[in-house]
Structure 1
């Protein structure tokens, strides 16, 4: 029991434990087959005085090894086994080994250098067995599957079944514990337990010392473990219910445990319906680590920075299911609520599956993605990494009230995403920024040379022009109101920032209510009446529609129409976002202006903050370019459908 408890206490949830959950049951079969042989010898000896003399002198190793070999269908060897008679029968075993299956990594599944114990003779007759002064040293256990997925922890008929799955605990029920022995004190020194997957990955638990002590069958049991998991030091202490409760198979067994590794502390207080196999576990769990480095070391992941983590919740482990619910916590000063974190272990070569539903009141991604303490927030970036065969698979729902990324701050963010073989799918992404709402969906797929292809559809509604021009660094603009946008973006890059800067974008921008400065209409129409009466105020915008295309931040808006009661403005624009430069030519549509209008186009070009304004030529070629209605037909389907709904779609023409 101590081996299994320590193994599961140190093991992170993201690592498979199905075989490990069953390893105590399988090792127990070998252990009790061994003790069965010893007990048989003791009972024979107890039947007469001659037996006592025989026991005191004989080496029973070969006899017991033959019985264990027959019971297990696997070779058992015992270097020596001596029994000293008395009310407490002393048993001492040296150099015992249980052979591995053919094709296993090594020749042995279990080795025990030395085992000594005292067994109460009357308990052999009346049960349950009572043992004390159990001392075990130099223990080695290898639990593995061969590349053909044959497990080495099955014996007899189970071994003949090969790689067929064992019954689920919920179907087979916990082991019968009614005859489980009482061990008053146990000490284990120098132990090693290895779990090896069919793919060759090893998870190693090293046991320096394990001690178990109780004052009687009806007294609490105290367990202490000092060891390491994957070379990361781990200690554990536990107070458990008496052995008399353990023997009540249908009664959940109470466990109060604390595990530590470096600055990481994990506590658990709850019960197990199948404690021998560390299954059917339910209870309250807490986790605290000011740096999270021990957790990362145990998981075999690099710890590039210190991330303080605190968490509490209700923990459950049943068969292949591990979960935390009703959770509260803090990740680097970011409060979180855990509705669900669930791991379902994969079987027969299938990956694990994680489902998560987590909410943050605030989340500053710069704290996690900027690896250098002095790094500027603008250096924050996210790698676009896609695993062709991910393990585990992930379905996650994340919500954040306030999200910070680089110099941007978003609100009311919700994300539903999944990790599948060769792809990361964003089913929905919604957030608010500068009063506008953004909804997006897309997919990240593996590409050549370590890059990934990102494809996304984005809908923006209610973007305020005044707020946008301030963020982009534009000077004052004569257009007011809110715009909507439908966009399709594609890029093949290695990081998120690189994908944003290099993306190919096709978009339609629409306004159905807003206002335009009347001076613009007068300026672009060159209305002679402006010589005597300059127009003032704003005129309502009936509709606005622009088709935007860009590559790596360099692109054009063409065609572009703004229709008002005072006239219709047609325009085309080129821009370079990295240089913060643009070139805009716009003019009035002659059929919409008065008889005094000369309809002379105007050109505005230069930096976003201080452009130059001057008259522009308005050739037939230029008019035709601005009227390019056929460009609407080249838009992605979703973007084109969005443009068709705008009244200015019908106004685009020569």
Structure 2
């Protein structure tokens, strides 16, 4: 035990007088002892605080726990150092961010960083509960970004989601990366590539520039990408424009994205220009997640922005195949599948490009931008089409492959290319929903008239479609149709309707098994007299016409009433009446076999010489029909048959009363959509 006087010697200052009074002396001694112990305690607390700030053993585990809870995955920190100041400097060594807890064991961790140094505005957090990180420096970070076949991934974070305290995402200023690497493996996208990231000082107020290089494969195609960006203006707030420029090559597809972001983590602040070029728009599906049809080569540029879950591609200008394209495209992630809305137009369009979209092809040979493989494919397709005896397109339709997107398209082409093309312009509205295509309308201008079609294509099993179409021929300029032949002339106004219903995988199959009807009529106008004389085997009149006689003959009436049953188009009524003749046709067109057999009987309305008393037989294939006198309709064989087939003098039959009734019935059928003849009405099927 220490002597009380020894304690006084320790705690009392020299020269002090000690009064040895009962009670009072003991209380004063205790007070002095407590005061000295309090000062010693303050000193020890200060020393402990300094030691804590210089080597916070308690801060590392706390930071690991908080980060693990926030990220939903294990976080490990080897060493954590904190230097007081304004801002506070925090250095972490050997930081490891693991994979989600449901991820298979044995996979490399999501991120490993040998050293992270960041600045933290502690005062701002204490005053406003706002986290501001002026700068982050990462030394040699290595990331493993993985997406598995079952759609599980290790890069999905919900930072700031469902925060009960309402805290905002931290505001991050300059970010510096030295020797950053990433290994990316995305099973669903068939992608494997490596990324190298670094930052460096850049001239100007933006601070540090960012460079990222990626090499590998994407969608089983070789991929190379370069990202160049200015200094980050602040990941948490719009403190300035952040310039970005991305060059991407994925197989034969090229993309350049260039512009600015006001807030790098907010795509709604983007003002970007996008240039896309490649041999086939379908190859963009792996990059955009939106299924697109197989197309000819393209080059498209425009402005790209993002607003409320929608990507807008505006001021689009470029070409697809030989056709120019302008307009806008919007892509939205719908409740079931992506939705694409497009408003496009062309000054000049090649219908072969439209056909390529329908059947999924690279366009005709010589289309600009074709790859060698596409050139070979186009040449082979053209060679097969030229050598094939078939006329109707038999290539499978591309429509059943578009179930992965809903699309709404309006399109107008001001001019259709081709001197012999009878069509002037094209207007299209298409709705594609769950693989069902509705074209309402598909319209072609023909002079002052139009061909307008409403078409519905519904997918069926085995890549077939059920087709329903209603076509209206609205005052077609017959002169334009005849001009397309390049041989004969004609004029007038042609009107009518057509209806087809069928199922198949191609246009040829649909027509070859289809049901429907075709009604056409024309009054007034004229036809080439030579064509009429040859069709009626009026050799004498044809000879005079070729020597400088009358070049054309007025048309009084034309009626074609052709029902379609199981791919067989028959002639319920086929009649042409001019000032000189009445031509009646009977026969069938087999669309399944693409064979035609129609006989044309001609009767002169006036005196005529040199006319063969035989019908003209049009037969053969649709692609290459032939026309010749039908000798099987002669009066037997031998000398009598030969004499009966000699040119004769015909005295004429006068005006034909059938035309008015057939025309009235055809117009009634066009108005009602019926292909059945009215009860008690003559079909005009017999020869007079």
Bin of the TM-score, shorter chain as denominator length: 0.5 to 0.7
CA offsets, 1:394-439, max 9 Å, x none?
A: 011233345579x978541222112112411111112246997422
1:237 aligns with 2:203: no
1:209 aligns with 2:209: no
**Counterpart selection for 2:162 from 158, 164, 181:** 158
1:283 aligns with 2:272: yes
Is contact 1:314-1:326 (8 Å) kept? Answer: yes
The 3 A distance-change label for structure 1 pair 209 and 124 is: farther
1 CA distance for matches of 2:219 and 2:589? 55
Is residue 173 of structure 2 the alignment partner of residue 181 of structure 1?
A: yes
Q: Which residue of 2 aligns with 1:8?
A: none
Q: Paired residue for 2:334?
A: 346
Moved more, 253-262 or 563-572: 563-572
Is the Cα contact below 8 Å between 1:486 and 1:642 reproduced in 2?
A: no
**Is the CA contact (8 Å cut-off) linking 1:45 and 1:52 kept in structure 2?**
no
Q: Secondary structure at the match of 2:397?
A: coil
1:637–1:561: structure 2 CA closer, same or farther, 3 Å change rule? closer
Match of 1:357 among 335, 338, 343: 343
Q: Please, which of 169, 194, 213 is the counterpart of residue 226 of structure 1?
A: 213
The one-character-per-residue Cα deviations of 1:607-652 (angstroms, maximum 9, x if unpaired) are 45432057779xxxxxxxx99x999999997575599999xx8996
Of 602-611 and 212-221, deviating more is: 212-221
Change (3 A) 1:342 1:382: farther
In the alignment, what sits opposite 2:94?
A: 93
From 136, 139, 142, give the equivalent of 2:141.
136
Tell me if the contact between 2:441 and 2:453 (Cα under 8 Å) persists in the aligned partners.
yes
2:253 equivalent to 1:254: no
Aligned to 1:543: 557
Aligned residues of 2:176 and 2:199 also touching (Cα < 8 A): yes
- 1:334 corresponds to 2:323: yes
Asked whether the 8 Å contact 1:110–1:141 carries over to 2, the reply is no
1:424 pairs with 429, 432, 437, which one? 437
1:340-489 correspondence runs (5 A): 340-347=328-335, 350-360=336-346, 361-363=348-350, 364-365=352-353, 368-369=362-363, 371=374, 372-375=377-380, 377=382, 379=385, 383-387=396-400, 390-401=403-414, 410-432=423-445, 437-461=450-474, 481-489=492-500
Runs (5+) with no aligned partner, structure 1: 1-43, 161-171, 527-534, 618-625
Give CA-to-partner distance per residue, 1:528-553, whole Å, 9 cap, x none: xxxxxxx9886643333221134687
Match of 2:616 among 600, 604, 610: 604
3-state SS, counterpart of residue 440 of structure 1: strand
Asked whether the equivalents of residues 99 and 109 of structure 1 are also in contact (C-alpha less than 8 Å), the reply is: no
* Aligned match of 2:35: none
Deviation string for 1:82-106 (max 9, x for gaps)? Answer: 4386996532134332534x6x788
Secondary structure in 2 matching 1:441: strand
Q: Distance in 1 between matches of 2:47 and 2:628?
A: 107
Provide the residue aligned with 1:560 in structure 2: 574
Distance 2:50 2:162 in 1: 41
Verify the 8 A CA contact 1:581 1:605 in the aligned structure 2. no
CA–CA distance in 1 between the matches of 2:668 and 2:363?
34
Match of 1:490 in 2: 501
- Residue 343 of structure 1: how far off its partner (Å): 0.4
Cα distance in 1, alignment partners of residues 462 and 282 from structure 2: 31
TM-score normalised by L of structure 1: 0.66
CA distance in 1, matches of 2:493, 2:666: 26
TM-superposed CA distance for 1:453, in Å, is 1.6
Q: Mark the CA change 1:555 to 1:481 in structure 2 (over 3 Å): closer, same or farther.
A: same
What is the aligned partner in structure 2 of residue 574 from structure 1? Answer: 588
Q: Within 5 Å, which residues of 2 pair with 1:7-22? A: none
Q: Which has the higher contact order (CA 8 A, sep 6+)?
A: 1
Match of 1:129, SS?
strand
Measure the CA separation in 2 of the matches of 1:633 and 1:388: 43
Measured in 2, the distance between the counterparts of 1:61 and 1:383 equals: 65
From 595, 598, 601, the equivalent of 1:583 is 598
Alpha-carbon distance in structure 1 between the residues aligned to 2:79 and 2:146: 20
Aligned position for 2:307: 318
Residue of structure 2 in register with 1:13 after alignment: none
Structure-2 separation of matches of 1:257 and 1:643: 62
* Shift in alpha-carbon separation, 1:502–1:114, aligned structure 2, 3 A: same
Change (3 A) 1:75 1:375: closer
TM superposition shift of 1:157? 7.0
Residues 1:644 and 1:557: Cα distance change in structure 2 (over 3 Å): closer
Q: Which residue of 2 aligns with 1:507?
A: 518
Secondary structure of the 1:362 match is coil
Distance 1:265 1:471, change over 3 A: closer
Q: Do the aligned partners of 1:190 and 1:209 also contact (CA within 8 Å) in 2?
A: yes
d(CA) in 2 for partners of 1:500, 1:428: 20
Asked if the contact 1:508/1:642 (under 8 Å) is kept, the reply is no
Cα displacement string for residues 538-584 of structure 1 (whole angstroms, at most 9, x for unaligned residues): 66433332211346875322223445677866553334576664332
Give the Cα separation in 2 of the matches to 1:497 and 1:435. Answer: 30
Structure 2 SS opposite 1:180: strand
Contact 1:633 1:640 in 2 (8 A): no
Q: 1:283 to 1:392 in 2, by over 3 A?
A: same
* Partner residue of 1:76 out of 74, 77, 88: 74
Q: Residues of 2 paired with 1:584 and 1:83: CA distance?
A: 100
Structure 1 CA distance for aligned equivalents of residues 663 and 616 of structure 2: 23
RMSD: 5.5
> Deviation per CA, 1:209-264, whole angstroms, max 9, x where unpaired?
122334699434422222254564232222335536x56x3556332312222565
- Residues 54-111 of structure 1: CA deviation (Å, up to 9, x unaligned): 34xx596543222234456x353426344386996532134332534x6x78899972
Unaligned runs of 5+ residues in structure 2 are 1-44, 125-131, 365-373, 386-392, 539-548, 620-624, 636-657
Aligned partners of 1:295 and 1:278: how far apart in 2? 21
Q: How many Å separate the matches in 2 of 1:90 and 1:519?
A: 94
- Equivalents in 2 of 1:61, 1:287: separation in Å? 48
Conserved 8 A contact 1:384-1:444? no
In structure 2, how many angstroms separate the alpha carbons of the residues matched to 1:568 and 1:210? 83
| Higher Cα Rg, which structure | 2
CA distance in 2, matches of 1:423, 1:114: 51
What residue in structure 2 maps to residue 26 of structure 1? none
The secondary structure found in structure 1 opposite 2:337 is coil
